[in-house]
Amino acid sequence: MAIGSWMAQYRWYFVATTSSLLAYSFYKTYHAGCVVPRKNKIILWATAGISISLTAYTVLKPYFL
């Protein structure tokens, strides 16, 4: 039994929370009239890419093994 296996039952709650927070971050970043530094946009896109990659990995892992 893995150390974090008890968290597997909450996976979809974490995915939903992450998706909601990313959507809110994109809304606040690209909302009309808002001026956001370029560095913040790069960090947002990097975080989104990592989050989507890790979520896709956990969902698609059983199909590759």
**13 belongs to a structural domain:** no
Residue 19 has pLDDT above 90, yes or no: yes
**14 belongs to a structural domain:** no
The string of DSSP letters for 39-62 reads HHHHHHHHHHHHHHHHHHHHHHHH
Distance, CA of 29 to CA of 42 (rounded, Å): 11
> Which pLDDT score, from 0 to 100, does residue 44 have?
96
Q: Show the domain range for 62.
A: 37-65
| Global confidence as pTM | 0.81
**22 belongs to a structural domain:** no
φ/ψ (deg, to 5) at 4: -95, 15
**55 belongs to a structural domain:** yes
Number of structural domains found in the chain = 1
**57 belongs to a structural domain:** yes
Distance, CA of 14 to CA of 11 (rounded, Å): 5
**46 belongs to a structural domain:** yes
**56 belongs to a structural domain:** yes
> Which pLDDT score, from 0 to 100, does residue 24 have?
95
**9 belongs to a structural domain:** no
What rounded mean pLDDT belongs to the chain?
A: 90
